[in-house]
Every structure is written in C-alpha cells, then in structure tokens.
Structure 1
Amino acid sequence: MENKIDVIEILKECDALLEGHFLLSSGKHSNRYVQCAKVLRFPDKAEKILSLVVEKIKDLDIDLVVGPAMGGVIVSYELGRQLGKETVFTERKNNIMELRRGFEVKPGARIIIAEDVVTTGKSTIETKKVLEGLGGNVIGVACIANRTKDDIGMPIYSAIDIDIQVYESDDCPLCNEGKIDLVKPGSREFKDNK
C-alpha cells in the first residue's frame, strides 16, 4: 500500500494528477486526468515509479519492449533500460498504428507493451494487433497508471491503479454545472459529439 501512496505523491508533486473537467480521447468526460508527461520530464522520478513496474515484470522472459507513441515512448525506454532490453515504438500514420523506422519484430519474440496510462486500452490493443501481425507474442502491458476497469485481453502491470470518474458527454455533471471549462489534454485526434 505504501508504494501507491508514494506514486500518488510523486504524481501530485509533478502536477501530473490534474483536477478539473477533461475531454478524453473516448469522447467521454472526467474530473481528473493523469498527465504522465509531467512526471516523465524528471528522469529520477520516472526511474523510481517504473522500478515498481519492473519488479512485477522482470521474470517474464521479455525480448522486446514496445511503446506506442507518444505516451509509451519514454516509458518503454526507461523500462528497457532497467530491464536491459531493446526498446522500440509504434506510431500512427494516417491514424493507423504501425511499426516504422526500420524497427523489426523477430518471429516469436516475447513483447511487453509500455504505456504511460491505460484508460480504454485502445492504443495498447492497436499496438498488440500490429505486433502479433508481425509474428510477435505480446505477453502484457506495463504502465505507470492503470485507469481501466475493462478486460483488454492481456495482463496489465502498473505502478498504480487509479479510479477516476468518467461521464458520458451528454450526461456530464461538470457540463451541467457549467463552472469549469472543458479541456482536451491528450494527444489523440478525434471529433467530439458535443
């Protein structure tokens, strides 16, 4: 339990745990948002938080760590550094996740996907599909914060599980109050219905 308290304290210290009214990439709204880029700007803090994840995955016989761009790139690098494993990243081209830049996946390679935050699991699932299409064997996802309550089809190894209230855009109490402006903090492009 102490580890969870430490992670929350680090996130708050770095202004990475935001309070307000946020538009998520799913189109839903929330009252809190985890902006891991704010903690990842401090290598010592990233090392400390991700060492908790390394403890959970170090015995999984991992060949490759893959982080979806943007959020997973620094996380994959730090996990790979601590594990002594190769790291690469996937990225979107024309809104489709791909492995580019001459990166390769060896057939049968045991792969852990690295994310900053798992919310809906969309990027993770897209990345898994790409990697398995190249012959890789995805064994799970490692992340700083796990927000999902859904089964995304693979184990999630996180430094912390965070419960954040999420609302449908047409039934959001924050919109109904009208006191806090809606902010889109993430990097994924999409169209909001509201």
Structure 2
Amino acid sequence: MTDAEVLAEFRDAGALLEGHFILSSGLRSPIFLQKMFIFQDPVRTERLCRALAQKIQARFGAVDYVVSPAVGGIVPGYETARHLGAKAIFVEREDGQFKLRRGFAIPAGARVVMVEDIVTTGLSSRECLASIAAEPGTILGAACLVDRSGGKAELGVPLVSLVAMDIPAYQPDALPPELAAIPATKPGSRGLGA
C-alpha cells in the first residue's frame, strides 16, 4: 500500500481533520488523524492492518505476540496480529504506568512487536515498550499506521509505519497566529480513566 493510498483511506473515512487540536502529548496541531473513523469500518481497518502486517513481516520475520497500548492501539493491534498469525494483547494504565493486566503475559522466547495507531512524539510507544521489556519475550520492534513525526520520534527500537508524515506540532505557548486564532479541541484518548 502506497503513502497516497493510506492517506486516501483516511480522507475517504473523514479521518483527516483540519483545525486546532490538542494532541495526547499536549502539543497543538492544525491536523488531527481521527483513527476511530477508520476503525468503525472493519473493511477499511482490515485493508490497512493487512498492509501493516506485511511490512512488519518483511522487516522482522515471524511474530508471536502483538502488544498495543490501550485504548487507541487495541483495534489495529488485534487486526494486525490476525494477519500475522500472532496473539494480540494490550497494556493498560495502572497507577499511571502501562502494565499487562487481565492475566496477559509474554513467555520466554516469544517474538514481540508493539503495534500503535499513530505515533507523534513516541511517548505512549516508549511507555508501552518499557512495560513489554519487563517480560521475558524478545522485542523485535514497533509499528504504527501513521508516523506523524516524519521519522523523528525515537522509540529505542526500529519503527515500521504505513506512512510517515511530518505534520507540524507546536508547544501551546508557541502557536503560529493562524492556529492561535482558532479555538482548540482535544479529540484524543489520553487522560481517560482506567
């Protein structure tokens, strides 16, 4: 799947939004990718996650477990794992830290890829990877549908993405005038209760 095809999926789903958005990282941006508009369509989700699974397999080989951060990573993690023939599990916040819960565990020798929806600064991905590192499996790398850092987010492991975009993000006190003139909205999920 080409970059243009991936972006067309987001546009066609109404998931490529323009305005003034407060991202999960706290940064501000004129572009927001509302991936839940993608995930409400199982056929579209399947297409994107199949393409991501193919890229993961080409980069890392066989995968035993896909681990994703809740909430946004659960759907793409599950669907990508299905195409990889892997188990899909997720981490949740407990006392502010990502942890495997619900009896999930990663056995010794398991080959693991962390799958995320969208990477901006990489904070959620790094937190997820840190929780996975406490398990005895082997982390092969990470993957996401969209890397909106344009390849700048540092995760500490290789990152595979369907598309990398360099979408501007600003500190709240350093907004360009045209963005500052628009009321901000916060459509993300960080900060939701456990």
TM normalised by structure 2 equals 0.91
Name the counterpart of 1:26: 25
Deviations 1:2-49 (A, max 9, x none): 711111111011111111001122221110011111101111101111
Name the counterpart of 2:143: 142
Paired residues for 1:150-189 under 5 Å: 150-174=153-177, 177-178=180-181, 180-189=182-191
Instruction: Give the C-alpha shift of residue 108 in structure 1.
Output: 3.0
Instruction: Give the C-alpha shift of residue 92 in structure 1.
Output: 0.7
| C-alpha separation in 1, matches of 2:179 and 2:7 | 29
| C-alpha separation in 2, matches of 1:140 and 1:98 | 18
Q: What SS does the aligned partner of 2:130 have?
A: helix
Deviations 1:150-192 (A, max 9, x none): 32211111111122111111110157642x21011111129xx
TM normalised by structure 1 equals 0.91
1:110 and 2:111 are equivalent in the alignment: yes
| C-alpha separation in 1, matches of 2:138 and 2:55 | 18
Q: Is the 8 A contact 1:50 1:159 kept in 2?
A: no
| C-alpha separation in 2, matches of 1:87 and 1:183 | 32
| C-alpha separation in 2, matches of 1:152 and 1:142 | 10
Change (3 A) 1:19 1:44: same
CA RMSD of aligned residues (A): 1.7
Q: What SS does the aligned partner of 1:90 have?
A: strand
Paired residues for 1:29-178 under 5 Å: 29-59=28-58, 60-148=61-149, 149-174=152-177, 177-178=180-181
| C-alpha separation in 2, matches of 1:101 and 1:57 | 26
| C-alpha separation in 1, matches of 2:180 and 2:73 | 35
Q: Which letter does structure 2 place at the counterpart of 1:181?
A: P
Identify the range of structure 1 (147-156 vs 110-119) with the bigger mean alpha-carbon deviation: 147-156
Deviations 1:65-121 (A, max 9, x none): 111101110011101111111111101122211100001110232110111101111
Instruction: Give the C-alpha shift of residue 134 in structure 1.
Output: 1.6
Q: Which runs of 5+ in 2 are unaligned?
A: none
Same amino acid, percent of matched pairs: 37
Q: Which runs of 5+ in 1 are unaligned?
A: none
Change (3 A) 1:110 1:7: same
Q: What SS does the aligned partner of 1:172 have?
A: coil
| C-alpha separation in 1, matches of 2:187 and 2:2 | 26
| C-alpha separation in 2, matches of 1:176 and 1:184 | 14
| C-alpha separation in 1, matches of 2:29 and 2:54 | 31
